[in-house]
Structure 1
Amino acid sequence: MASTRVIGLDIGTTAVRAAEVEFGSGGPAATPSPTLLRAGTVPLPPGAVRDGEAVDPGVVSHALKQLWSTAGFSSKDVVIGVGNQRVVVRELDLPWMPLSQLKASLPFQVQELLPVASSDALLDYYPTGESAGPEGRQVHGMLVAAQRDTVAANVLAVEGAGLRPVMVDLNAFALLRALARGDLAQRVVAFVDIGARVTNVVIADSGSPRLVRMLPSGGQNATDAVASAMSMAQPEADALKREIGLGFAPQAGYEAAAEAVMNATRILTESVRNTFVYYASNNPGRGIEAVVLTGGGAHLAGLGQFMSSSTRLPVLLGDPLSNFRFGKHVDRAALAGAEPLVALPVGLAYGVAA
């Protein structure tokens, strides 16, 4: 029987975020309206997490202890995510066999596809379909290979807080589960989660992933650019970035800051657009129909319009809580406008309960 209560934990560059979700006994598929029981966020000091990896596990552990104390989560079992440049995700067709056997065979089948020895990587396989052809029955899916030390650093930080990681999932797949519902589950959609230093892009066709990319930039790059242009500290630069936004006429004296935000955002947007172009070249006739933004970087004023103009696609802000009910410990008003920030922890909770 599927778990009924699951806690998804997102270890980001600037904060740790967790969400406790309750499903019915049949899991997400049988629960059209899950319940968000608890949710919380605790900020991290600069440098504690770099490119999705905990480089100071002790500091991250302390933040996690604070998060559990203030949010009052009912369990110490958590699902954590992984997603940075040290994770390889690619389409792969394999001879059909039961999924458990297929996953067990991965180290022997994919070594030549990996930049490291298979013994130094954690391997998983996400099936998306199957077919029968001249070579027999085939499974179509996506190979996921994460370098062990990338995952180990975050697991160490989680265990240091007295928590128990019961599953490690790919952030891109969590994003897909959190958002690909209703109309979005029937179309070709690009889900783009803009974190501080890592942007996850997953393009899905009818709810099934077709392309995953982890881009090494995010909202913090624009903050850094403003801090450099204006010779100011990071907190002040971040506040100024949000005040200026993107594509608006700046106040006198802030022209350099506005240009810094524009240049940094243009670099990220071009990387996203290039990902879309690559997908289109390999999937003729199944073009992307919409872009859904989540993550802290998605809140930059004017970003949606800028990305829409750049990609020539409609862009909307994702809401992973649109079909949720809320428990008595959740302040719904406090979450208003912050829904895109909980997409990853909510999607991670969906994974172990599926």
Structure 2
Amino acid sequence: MTKKRDKNTKFVGIDIGSYSIKIVALEKISTKYTLSEYNIKKIPINTEPEQLEGIIKESLEEVGISPNKVNLSVSGPDVIVRFIDFPKMTEEQLEDALVYEAEKYIPFNLSEVITDFIILGDAQESGQMKVILAAAKKSMVLPMLEVIKQVGMEVEVVDVDSFALFNAFFYANPLVENKCYALLDFGHSRTNVLISDGKAPCFIRQIQIGGKNIDESLIRDLSLSLEESEKCKLGLSELDKDAIMKSTTPILDSLLKELQLSFTYFENRTNKKIEEIYCCGGMIEQERVFEYLNENLGIQMKKWNLFNSIGFSGNLSQEDVHSVSSQLVVSLGLALRG
């Protein structure tokens, strides 16, 4: 699943997931980005972190690029994001204050994490400002940095998956500023939820339900191998579809419940109504998943293709990435960081 052209790549995003590695390379012409290369490579079961080096090298070789710098993202239970109101102060003052204040918001030993923050702007309460505080365990981040170093590259940006998702969406949809919307990224291990007031993220949650839970259910209920389960999810199996849905439905119902809880919590806390939901991710391409969630969520979901707003270089076209576009959103958002 590869497309390539020449080696003149400028901006590269690498999304190292639990199921696959996604690479996107962009070129910038004036103020517009064009897609020059992409690659999706499945990660074999039981792959150790140090083995990712070879997979990334192979992916880069397949698309014929050798970037000096790349952007990465992190996600999972070892990543914490908090939205906090602070008294107005300078960025330097906030950095000093967080040395003492961060432990109130981060459930990890501060010596074990890497932290960063973004000042969003004024809060509703006078004299306050909104701040996003993010923390990731060093035990997760540092091995990833070492893998990239061993490949011969330098990491320029380490982002959070959900922020890369927002960055990609806002680039493609700059006119949604006056709407409250949710972005859902249905992945293999988890579902990332981001809610925006139209200008910036204001709620983030990771739901630990994804495509692997469907695999586990199908394997258990129908006595399938992992390969057979994959075929079921893609609609390539000859097994009875009712039996497949009977096994899959409890997983989707659990996911629906968590999504609805997230939306209700956000709406009660902010008095804002979510107007639109946009979704992406490999799990959403599985047979009947989108339809079932859309029918039962209570708010219409839309699949979105970010590449409608991205040009294409060389011999690439919209048709080339159509079937995999929802899997490339995070890596594309990372590449857009420049």
Does the residue aligned with 1:337 lie in a helix, a strand or coil? helix
Does the residue aligned with 1:223 lie in a helix, a strand or coil? helix
Q: Which sections of structure 2, spanning at least 5 residues, go unmatched?
A: 1-8
Q: Equivalent residue for 2:289? A: 303
Q: Which sections of structure 1, spanning at least 5 residues, go unmatched?
A: 26-30, 49-55, 245-249
Task: Confirm or deny that 1:10 pairs with 2:15.
Answer: yes
User: 123-132 vs 141-150, which deviates more?
Assistant: 123-132
In 1: Cα distance, 2:119 partner to 2:29 partner: 25
Deviation at 1:304, TM superposition (A): 2.9
In 1: Cα distance, 2:27 partner to 2:295 partner: 39
Q: Equivalent residue for 1:53? A: none
Q: 1:168 to 1:290 in 2, by over 3 A?
A: same
Report matched runs for 1:50-199 at 5 Å.
56-131=48-123, 137-180=127-170, 181-199=173-191
In 2: Cα distance, 1:36 partner to 1:186 partner: 29
Deviation at 1:256, TM superposition (A): 3.2
Task: Confirm or deny that 1:264 pairs with 2:251.
Answer: yes
In 1: Cα distance, 2:200 partner to 2:68 partner: 31
Deviation at 1:241, TM superposition (A): 2.2
Does the residue aligned with 1:301 lie in a helix, a strand or coil? coil
Report matched runs for 1:236-315 at 5 Å.
236-243=228-235, 253-284=240-271, 286-315=272-301
Answer yes or no: is the 8 Å Cα contact 2:23–2:331 preserved in 1.
yes
Does the residue aligned with 1:184 lie in a helix, a strand or coil? coil
Task: Confirm or deny that 1:23 pairs with 2:28.
Answer: yes
Q: 1:221 to 1:102 in 2, by over 3 A?
A: same
Q: Give the CA RMSD over aligned residues.
A: 2.2
- 2:132 aligned partner, one-letter code: M
Q: Equivalent residue for 2:4? A: none
- 2:133 aligned partner, one-letter code: L
- 1:297 aligned partner, one-letter code: M
User: 183-192 vs 234-243, which deviates more?
Assistant: 183-192
Answer yes or no: is the 8 Å Cα contact 1:226–1:257 preserved in 2.
yes
Q: Equivalent residue for 1:28? A: none
Q: Deviations over 1:265-323 (max 9, x none)?
A: 22122212211111111011x21011111110111233333223332111011212111
In 2: Cα distance, 1:131 partner to 1:321 partner: 34
Deviation at 1:41, TM superposition (A): 1.3
Q: 1:332 to 1:73 in 2, by over 3 A?
A: farther
In 2: Cα distance, 1:100 partner to 1:79 partner: 25
Deviation at 1:82, TM superposition (A): 0.7
Q: Which of 307, 323, 326 is 1:340 aligned to?
A: 326
Runs of 4+ residues deviating >4 angstroms: 131-134, 250-254
Q: Equivalent residue for 2:5? A: none
Using the size of structure 2 for normalisation, the TM-score is: 0.90
Q: 1:127 to 1:251 in 2, by over 3 A?
A: same
User: 332-341 vs 10-19, which deviates more?
Assistant: 332-341
Answer yes or no: is the 8 Å Cα contact 2:252–2:293 preserved in 1.
no
In 1: Cα distance, 2:214 partner to 2:55 partner: 25
Answer yes or no: is the 8 Å Cα contact 2:186–2:281 preserved in 1.
yes
Does the residue aligned with 1:321 lie in a helix, a strand or coil? helix
In 2: Cα distance, 1:132 partner to 1:256 partner: 51
In 1: Cα distance, 2:177 partner to 2:302 partner: 15
Task: Confirm or deny that 1:323 pairs with 2:322.
Answer: no
Answer yes or no: is the 8 Å Cα contact 1:305–1:315 preserved in 2.
no
Q: Aligned pair count?
A: 328
In 1: Cα distance, 2:43 partner to 2:238 partner: 31
